[in-house]
Each structure stands twice: as C-alpha cells, then as structure tokens.
Amino acid sequence: MKIAVLGAGAWGTALALSFAHRHTVSLWSWRAKHVAAMNAARENVRYLPGFPFPETIAVSADFAATVAAAELALIATPMAGLRDAAARLASARPELPFLWVCKGLEAGSGLLPHQVVAAVHAQARCGALSGPSFAAEVARSLPTAVTLASKDSGFAERTALALNSSRLRVYANDDLIGVEVGGAVKNVIAIATGICDGLGLGLNARAALMTRGLAEITRFGVALGARAETFMGLSGLGDLILTCTGDLSRNRQLGLALASGQPLERIQRELGHVAEGVHTAHEVARRAAAIGVEMPITATVCDVLDGRLSPADAVERLMNRDPKHE
C-alpha cells in the first residue's frame, strides 16, 4: 500500500518508519527547512533522532505531490492542525481514505476529532488510530497494540488488517467516540498523576488517582454517546496506564514539573513537543459542564494550570471531597 503520512513530528515519523517495513511511505511536513534537513540526514534529527530512514520513505514539503498517488493518508499533526489537514485532503483528494492520530478536543470549539473532520470533509472515509504507544518504542519496532476506530466498521476492519504487522498490532473498533474520548482525557489524568508523583505521594495515591480518573473518563464518554466497555480497552485503560506511568509521556512530564514549582510557560517551552492535555483539560471541563457531567480531577487540573491552585492545595481539595459510593 502507498501511505501518505501528513506531519513529521515524533509520532508521524515513528509510524512512517513502522509502516515502511511493508508499505511505500511518503512523509510530509509544511516546513521546507525541516524537510531539507531530514532529506540531508535521512532521519528526523529534530523530533525523533537516531532512527535512519529506509529507502521506502520519501520526504516532501509538497502536499499535493505527497497525496497524489497515496491509497491511504495518515494525519499526524497536533490537534490544532487537524482541521487544516482534513480540509486540504478534501480539496486535493476527496476520495482518499484517511486516519488521524492526534488526541484531544479542538481548542475553542471543544469538538472531538471526528467532529472537526466532519465540519470540513463530510463525506470522508476516515477514522482514528489510537492506543498506548510511545513514538520511540514504535520506531524501535518494539511490540505495540493500538485501536483503529471508525463509524464504518467495514472500513475499520479492512484498514486494520492492511496496517497490522508482527510488531504493530491493530484492532478494529466501531466506537469512534469512545476511542477519541479515551485518547483525549487520559492526557489530563496524566498531568494529575505527574503532579501526584512529583509531590511524592506514593503508589497508593497514584493507583487511586488513575482509577478515579478512568471513572471520570467513562462518565464523560458515555454521556457523549460512547460505550462503557470501550474504556476497558487499549484506547481507554491501556492508554491511561501508559501515559500516567511512562516517563516518555509529555503530559506526565508536565505534571512532574508543575509539582516542582516551575511555571507552565517555561515547562511547555522546554518540553519541545506539544502536551495536548493542557488545552484538552479546559475544553473537557467546559463540555462536561455543559452536559452536566461531574469531573473533579479535570476541574482541579484546570485550576492548577491556570494558577488558581498550587499542586499541594489541589491534592487537599480532591482528598477532602465528601465520600461517595464508588
């Protein structure tokens, strides 16, 4: 299969490297200088150094040329770039099926990724690729399992089969809302978990926070139309465990830094990569309030990010809530 990967950050590059074992891959970046650097070094020194590109990966800054012969596109931009990339596909190759790998809610609108896509490319054959996966481990061909979700179950099954390999196992799912909510809100819980670990509160506290975080994710997702069982799968519990406990997690790193007293702006600047949980927390809180879903962990994370609560005071607030049935 000919695959166009649109976005040359760490995750897009890792997927390009993984798929290049069995497919012909074109990797696109809008930054011409970045493309020139990747072609010169034959690796992505800026975002994923140490992984040379095979001959089966072509790198380009020409969007139209990248998608011209593709049989499948993969949008690997941050959430902020999804709308533009989907609109460009609608213009250049409206019949081309595609997936997105970004996780979050769109800043300002609070829309889930599939809702953003529907606004600019209503007839697309499309879906989300999500699950517990660090870019560096996928690039190293370490065993990974992810979920490919689409409202079109036939498309999900066919595409999952085409992309599945001995190192990247792809499961099909038709609960697109559930897969997207799990992938988005786990980043918020990972910030909270990073704060918890940064304050040295122990493994008991981490386990409690992750468990109650999963309950919060599930309440929100079900209210939006997801199936509760989806959150016990790879894109729910699996992604939550990885992002909350793995030190490669940007959102966990951000929480750890907040616990040490560093200002948010400095943390984001020094990360060098997008921590989607920062924007997602506020959008999830707003959307949850609008539909009457209680999300105390998310609300507390928002208050820490906005400077209304210190990390230590945030813990006190959560621990001093009135006892309830689990």
Could you list the active site residues?
Answer: 186
Alpha helices for the chain (secondary structure H): 10-19, 32-41, 63-68, 82-92, 113-120, 135-139, 153-163, 176-198, 203-224, 239-245, 250-259, 264-271, 277-291, 296-305, 311-319
Q: CB neighbours of 88 closer than 8 A, spacing ≥ 6?
A: 63
Measured distance CA(28)–CA(89) in Å, rounded: 13
Q: Judge contact between 284 and 290, C-beta under 8 A.
A: no
What does the radius of gyration of the chain's CA atoms come to, in whole angstroms? 19
Q: Which helix (H) or strand (E) holds 99?
A: strand 98-100
Measured distance CA(306)–CA(308) in Å, rounded: 6
- Smallest CA-to-CA distance from 141 within 167, 106, 105 is with 167
DSSP state of 98: E
